[in-house]
Structure 1
Amino acid sequence: MLKKIIFLGLLNFTHTALIAQTKTTPIYLDESKPVEDRIKDALSRMTVEEKVRMLHAQSKFSSAGVPRLGIPEFWTTDGPHGVRAEVQWDEWDQAGWTNDSIIAYPALTALSATWNKQMSWNYGKAIGEEARYRKKDVLLGPGVNIYRTPLNGRNFEYMGEDPYLTSIMVVPYIKGVQSNGVATSVKHYALNNQEMFRHTSNVKLDDRALYEIYLPPFKAAVTEGDSWTIMGAYDKYKDQYASQNQYLLNDILKGEWGYKGVVVSDWGAVNNTEQAIKNGLDMEFGSWTNGLSAGTSNAYDNYYLAKPYLDLIKSGKVGTKELDDKVTRILRLAYKTTMNKNKPFGSVASEEHIAVAKQIGEEGIVLLKNDNNILPIDANKVKSIAVIGENAIKMMTVGGGSSSLKAKYETLPLDGIKSRFGKQTEVKYARGYVGDPGGEYNGVKSGQNLEDKRSEKELFNEAIALAKSADVVIFVGGLNKADFQDSEGNDRKSYNLPYNQDKLIQELAKANKNLVVSLVSGNAVAMPWIKDVPSIVQTWYLGSEAGNSLASVLAGDANPSGKLPFTFPVKLEDNSAHQLGEYPGNKEELAAGKGKDQQNPINITYNEGILVGYRWHDTKKIKPLFSFGHGLSYTTFEFGKVKADKTTISQNDKITFTFTVKNVGNVAGAEVAQLYITDVKSSVLRPTKELKGFEKVYLKPGEEKEVKITVDKAALSYFDADKHAWVAEPGDFEALIGNSSDNIKTKIKFTLK
């Protein structure tokens, strides 16, 4: 801390001294000059050593500025669900601050499940304010990698299986964060779709799948969201690591998309100086993850883009063209963040932030099943509620990897339920099972001690007995943030629920017909008990306001309007990556022990191509457990017949579809109208349908609204890898309107000339 205070003091002195020594303000400090002119001037004043120093970390989460010129250092922080606690300068261990607690926001699966662009903006603005308050310049998020397998340990940090939904939801998040003068770092570019072998894999897929499925969210982040930084991934693609990849970074990102921002490496993702120089990387972080203890006077000088780069320049083996481009991009970032005098001060844990966290949680919760209208629970009619399950009392903000948080508070599901129902209804609790009693990650401790020495049978019998005595049972289970569950670094080992929860749920269903299963997870899970359980709620990881958001939905204070951002397959083999593709890698190479180090990476081939998620299920007619876009409400909606403003369009034309949505139930609620496009006859394989538009509509009882969704040629196109171009084939198309991918309400045919 002292080191940073001294540095900031030097910056102020340097600025003052520079201006005092000159009759006119230097161009790079003159705010009246165009930014690009200021950048050129600053660049011209820097030595080669100063330029190189800006390219790599100087601590775990910061990189150097140029003190001589008053150019500040950069401070990054992990998100994307909250600003990470402070760690020591050179270690992952906690710095021991007492003022680095924050609001934990719902995980990005929950945000995506809102299907609400305004919620995404609110989320970005709030977390950006907290990052700004903590004096962070770059927020390391959001994550937009596509959900390929339900076993991926990091799916909870991403926005689901659909490139269109993710693209639409990521843009307002970026703009909200960056309105605070804090850069986003959209990650992980690209193809980081599993945690197992993430450092030692070589992903193989065709360009069509790359462009149609895996790249669109990153393109939207750049071309529409203007994310000021992009984070490279760990995996290999086309036999080059993603953070130093010619095709991904130079050809596509900086070439085709014209990206002017900064490419930062994931922590420890760089392993070759010459490739890092030439193949598009701008800033290198984490290469020596044990900091100064590596055995040199300054381990950071030995990064790939540090002294090795400087030595190549001084020896004449490489020029400074790439160096100047990298520093230009970094200076461009500085003028938007560290040298931006107009950025707001920020705030932390405000009432507004708490409200945002709660509302996103409420809107993101998905009501999967509600037979017999068990939900909402009327506290005036229910005398007793049994809450069962470890996840009702387990804090979920700590753990899971780099998104682990030091939250100011976390309202647990049991506490939220007691707070909402306890005054009128008796609420009792039984644990039912012991899963993960721990609560620590990188020195952040939840403060809970969930050790329980009772046997599995004792816990089981107590839960069943309590369930028999209650009017309603709420089982709060699912996954958690422990290793090999929803957590960075490893994937899940099974599609089923852990800790023998499936057996417990089946017995609870026999003990009480009024059973609600609330699943806390960022992934789909198997449900062998689904026919026996009348009500199921997908709850996600909801952060500081988790318990309050859940209780609000259970009570009907908030009418659930969340929709699934990914498909729940019945069994793992129904997922295309497991049926057609390679997971976790090539079987022969797995048997031979490949993937253990970077010298022997394992190949992972995406044989399923473009048929990911609902594209696979719908095209191959494989019935899912719950479909993409699915989500029930406490009211009922009707869709009117869709109309189009024209029946035939040209290649440069647009077409608008109009229909009505009416609330024919008794309570106010929101429906998500979803537009899918079908190419009726194509010369290439096309999915049965693809999401190309959606609108969330809020309606009072009896209210009807007209919805308009416009699409253009892009919505009708596929990527032709041979032509390396998007192609819309002339012919007939259909627009399908519904409230999930398997529940189409109305459709209309049109023709492309």
Structure 2
Amino acid sequence: MKRYFYFVGVLLLSLGSVATAQTPVYLDDTKPVEERIEDALSRMTLEEKVALCHAQSKFSSPGVPRLGLPENWMTDGPHGIRAEVAWDEWEQAGWTNDSCMAFPALTCLAASWNPEMALLYGRSIGEEARYRNKNVLLGPGVNIYRTPLNGRNFEYMGEDPYLASEMVVPYIEGVQSNGVAACVKHFALNNQEYDRYAVDVEVSDRALYELYLPAFQAAVQRGKAWAIMGAYNRYKGQHCCHNQYLLNDILRGEWGFDGVVISDWGGVHNTVESAYNGLDMEFGTGTDGLGVSASDAYNHYFLAQPFLDLLKKGEIPESVLDGKVRNILRLMYRTTMNRNRPFGSFKNPAHALAARQIAQEGIVLLQNRDNVLPIPLDKTKKILVVGENAIKMMTVGGGSSSLKAWYEVSPLDGLRARVGDAAEVVYARGYVGNTDGSYNGVVSKVDLSESRSAEELLAEAVGLARESDYVIFVGGLNKNSQQDCEGGDRIAYGLPYNQDRVIEALAAANPRTVVVLISGNSVAMPWADRVPAIVEGWYCGSEAGNALASVLVGDVNPSGKLPFTIGKQLGDYHAHALNDPLVYPGVDHKQVYRDDIFVGYRWSDLQKDSKPLFCFGHGLSYTTFEYGKVSLDRKQMTAADTLRVRLTVKNRGSRAGAEVVQLYVSDLKSALPRPLKELKGFRKVMLQPGESREVEFLLDRTSLSYFDDAKHEWVAEPGRFEVLVGASSGDIRSKAGFELK
């Protein structure tokens, strides 16, 4: 079948303007996509092709109206669809129908250790992006948790490349099932916000391939991501948004990526490098989105008029431009030009249920001495909630992931709604943090102003604590500058606003004091041995309060596991243990990753004299699980074989619960230094009281390999290996050995 494209005053939702009538153009949409791309390319002028390569507004790039080629519209993610902003400004456009569902931060998703939750997340947020007529979602992020000071860790999926890889693939599949491209970011080595625009990262090829690239490779080769966003920082002296090694050699050359490469906003610095080094679309150049003049701003982007001038002079061949346009056209045909693209949905109650379920599976019970949790409502008359984070909106702020949420249930409101008349729930501020609740024109609905002194607030909280059955302290970090926020790193590892003092005073006043940390990063907990229960509550989006309440009172049995290591102090992290500013945060825009492959538990496993406060993969339950003995289907294997690993897990408690069974592999002797163990498999299994289930894993050559940077290849070295299965990296329950021939 052949059809004609007529543009006769169609209202474009995302643009909010009316397109002008165009002469119909004959296009054959029955041909394969690659033939259609070549057909469209052959009809375009040089100027039209160049125009596709750069923005026309903050979040859009032009199409070719006379050919029926639509504009591309981006939206920030990865936790919700960003509110509409003005054409050339970051401030709000003033729409009344652009509130979104706020989903949990990606640290919470990673903490669920459940790929099914990642698929649900991707489908849900993809439906909202599609309904808002966006064809590119700027997310998810998969940069590795190297330092707990990184202000943007809350947008990523933890410290382990295997966990991040397994979680990012279904997220991408879910988003793209809606005809919306997932733009995986920030490629690559964007592991801090300090000096992010200029720092030049020096890292071994081995660390690059073993730690910092696997999640991106999984996104491209398994998730089939349609877009990749470059990073702000530099690698090998070149900015990552136009980097020969990352974009041409690795992304396209080694991995075969056929999607579009999009710059981070303001991440482009050079026309010639942008032309040759893998970038397709340039966004955000100039601090305010404008260049030389307001009337002609976007023509002065590096891939705009300067690019066109070099093409016309013959200094850059047109074939270079055509390569970019093919990638951009492929994006269009996969999204807005796909006639089978679904319509999406917005303000959908199903999205609220998804957000809540993801949050409930990601919340981590870190400590629970004497089974102080869950709160027994039938024996509780008064619950005291203390802390600014119990009422502060966490969907506002944090940088590009800041949202204009449809609604947000606070921890205090969620607990009050769940407890109802069963017990009295009272509130005390306890401390004052950052009272600014606005970001990019979105204003918090909560008044955080406070006239009382710190002593008065503390005295009130302690007095109420003495007369309460339970104290729930809700603190942690927030999304203000130099905390969990884009654009800067944290300045200290400890809790801000003197929260430690408040926690210690509450613990002294009431033995049933529960600390709930709202954060996307680990923090120091000098009071950990003085409180019976600690909960990592993350940033859980619109349903945060409801999800947290369901865990605290036992409606939901917690099953989240940490996606990163929580050290007792900053020096427990390798990047900081070296006490070398060149390692972190860098000197004169140069940084050397001397921590190499030993990041997170790979480092803490080697420290015989000290253990982390809470290890990678840790998380408790309201029930107990018994692990059986690991069995292997063979004692020897070759590189061509698959090793089958089995064990039985039993719920020994009185309530249903889910356990994340984690499989690690240890190379007992190798030519190159290796971590003591590395995560190579996990399964989340739901078990009723007394129920047993067999859990199975498959290991192959890739599970045993390390990257030999001298050979520039993955090597599975013959010798003895060990399989270790447990409830966390620090709680191994069973082992079995085998030999690779």
Residue of structure 2 equivalent to 1:597? none
Distance of 1:355 and 1:556 partners within structure 2: 18
Is 1:168 matched up with 2:144?
A: no
Residue of structure 1 equivalent to 2:180? 182
The alpha-carbon deviation at position 291 of structure 1 amounts to 3.7
Residue of structure 2 equivalent to 1:319? 317
Q: Residue 288 of structure 1 contacts residue 294 of structure 1 at CA under 8 Å; is this kept in 2? A: no
Please list, as runs of the form range in 1=range in 2, the aligned pairs for 1:253-652 lying within 5 A after superposition. Answer: 253-292=251-290, 294-295=292-293, 297-580=295-578, 582-583=580-581, 590=587, 594=588, 602-621=589-608, 622-652=610-640
1:690 is aligned, of 654, 678, 691, to 678
Q: Residue 431 of structure 2 contacts residue 458 of structure 2 at CA under 8 Å; is this kept in 1? A: yes
Distance of 1:244 and 1:373 partners within structure 2: 54
Distance of 2:582 and 2:531 partners within structure 1: 32
Distance of 1:294 and 1:288 partners within structure 2: 9
SS in 2 for 1:619: coil
Residue of structure 2 equivalent to 1:198? 196
SS in 2 for 1:380: helix
Distance of 1:250 and 1:415 partners within structure 2: 51
- Of residues 684-693 and 4-13 in structure 1, the stretch that sits farther from structure 2 once superposed is 4-13
Q: Residue 11 of structure 1 contacts residue 71 of structure 1 at CA under 8 Å; is this kept in 2? A: no
The alpha-carbon deviation at position 580 of structure 1 amounts to 2.7
Compared with structure 1, are the counterparts of its residues 477 and 584 closer, same or farther at alpha carbon in structure 2 (3 Å cutoff)? farther
SS in 2 for 1:677: strand
Q: Residue 12 of structure 1 contacts residue 70 of structure 1 at CA under 8 Å; is this kept in 2? A: no
Is 1:106 matched up with 2:86?
A: no
Q: Residue 11 of structure 1 contacts residue 70 of structure 1 at CA under 8 Å; is this kept in 2? A: no
Distance of 1:663 and 1:697 partners within structure 2: 10
Q: Residue 120 of structure 1 contacts residue 172 of structure 1 at CA under 8 Å; is this kept in 2? A: yes
Residue of structure 1 equivalent to 2:693? 705
Distance of 1:154 and 1:380 partners within structure 2: 41
Q: Residue 196 of structure 1 contacts residue 584 of structure 1 at CA under 8 Å; is this kept in 2? A: no
The alpha-carbon deviation at position 449 of structure 1 amounts to 1.6
The alpha-carbon deviation at position 537 of structure 1 amounts to 0.2
2:90 is aligned, of 71, 89, 92, to 92
Q: Residue 24 of structure 2 contacts residue 66 of structure 2 at CA under 8 Å; is this kept in 1? A: no
Please list, as runs of the form range in 1=range in 2, the aligned pairs for 1:10-29 lying within 5 A after superposition. Answer: 13-14=21-22, 17-19=24-26, 26-27=27-28
Report percent identity of matched pairs: 61
Distance of 1:296 and 1:402 partners within structure 2: 23
Q: Residue 291 of structure 2 contacts residue 301 of structure 2 at CA under 8 Å; is this kept in 1? A: no
- What's the C-alpha RMSD, in Å, of the aligned pairs? 1.6
Task: Give the partner amino acid of 1:611.
Answer: F
Q: Residue 14 of structure 2 contacts residue 133 of structure 2 at CA under 8 Å; is this kept in 1? A: no
Distance of 2:527 and 2:14 partners within structure 1: 61
The alpha-carbon deviation at position 447 of structure 1 amounts to 2.3
SS in 2 for 1:174: helix
The alpha-carbon deviation at position 619 of structure 1 amounts to 2.3
The alpha-carbon deviation at position 378 of structure 1 amounts to 1.3
SS in 2 for 1:344: coil
2:645 is aligned, of 622, 633, 657, to 657
Distance of 2:216 and 2:177 partners within structure 1: 19
The alpha-carbon deviation at position 488 of structure 1 amounts to 0.3
The alpha-carbon deviation at position 412 of structure 1 amounts to 0.3
Residue of structure 2 equivalent to 1:599? none
- Cα offsets for 1:326-366 (capped at 9, x unmatched): 10011111001111111111111211100000011100000
SS in 2 for 1:667: coil
Task: Give the partner amino acid of 1:138.
Answer: V
The alpha-carbon deviation at position 8 of structure 1 amounts to 8.9
Q: Residue 649 of structure 1 contacts residue 655 of structure 1 at CA under 8 Å; is this kept in 2? A: yes
Distance of 1:318 and 1:397 partners within structure 2: 45
Q: Residue 180 of structure 1 contacts residue 346 of structure 1 at CA under 8 Å; is this kept in 2? A: yes
Gaps of at least 5 residues in structure 1 are: 20-25, 595-601
Compared with structure 1, are the counterparts of its residues 2 and 13 closer, same or farther at alpha carbon in structure 2 (3 Å cutoff)? closer
Compared with structure 1, are the counterparts of its residues 7 and 466 closer, same or farther at alpha carbon in structure 2 (3 Å cutoff)? closer
SS in 1 for 2:122: helix
Compared with structure 1, are the counterparts of its residues 12 and 698 closer, same or farther at alpha carbon in structure 2 (3 Å cutoff)? farther
Return the TM-score normalized by structure 1.
Answer: 0.95
Distance of 1:329 and 1:652 partners within structure 2: 36
Residue of structure 2 equivalent to 1:229? 227
Is 1:215 matched up with 2:203?
A: no
Distance of 1:612 and 1:339 partners within structure 2: 43
Q: Residue 13 of structure 2 contacts residue 133 of structure 2 at CA under 8 Å; is this kept in 1? A: no
2:725 is aligned, of 733, 737, 744, to 737
Residue of structure 1 equivalent to 2:658? 670
- Cα offsets for 1:425-452 (capped at 9, x unmatched): 0111101000011110010111222110
Q: Residue 647 of structure 2 contacts residue 695 of structure 2 at CA under 8 Å; is this kept in 1? A: yes
Compared with structure 1, are the counterparts of its residues 620 and 734 closer, same or farther at alpha carbon in structure 2 (3 Å cutoff)? same
SS in 2 for 1:673: strand
The alpha-carbon deviation at position 288 of structure 1 amounts to 2.5
Q: Residue 231 of structure 2 contacts residue 240 of structure 2 at CA under 8 Å; is this kept in 1? A: yes
Return the TM-score normalized by structure 2.
Answer: 0.97
- Cα offsets for 1:134-157 (capped at 9, x unmatched): 111100000000000000000000
Distance of 1:283 and 1:296 partners within structure 2: 21
Distance of 1:263 and 1:201 partners within structure 2: 21
Task: Give the partner amino acid of 2:399.
Answer: G
Compared with structure 1, are the counterparts of its residues 337 and 265 closer, same or farther at alpha carbon in structure 2 (3 Å cutoff)? same
Task: Give the partner amino acid of 1:481.
Answer: K
Distance of 2:550 and 2:327 partners within structure 1: 46
Q: Residue 105 of structure 2 contacts residue 539 of structure 2 at CA under 8 Å; is this kept in 1? A: yes
SS in 1 for 2:346: coil
Task: Give the partner amino acid of 2:439.
Answer: Y
Q: Residue 737 of structure 1 contacts residue 744 of structure 1 at CA under 8 Å; is this kept in 2? A: yes
Compared with structure 1, are the counterparts of its residues 689 and 585 closer, same or farther at alpha carbon in structure 2 (3 Å cutoff)? closer
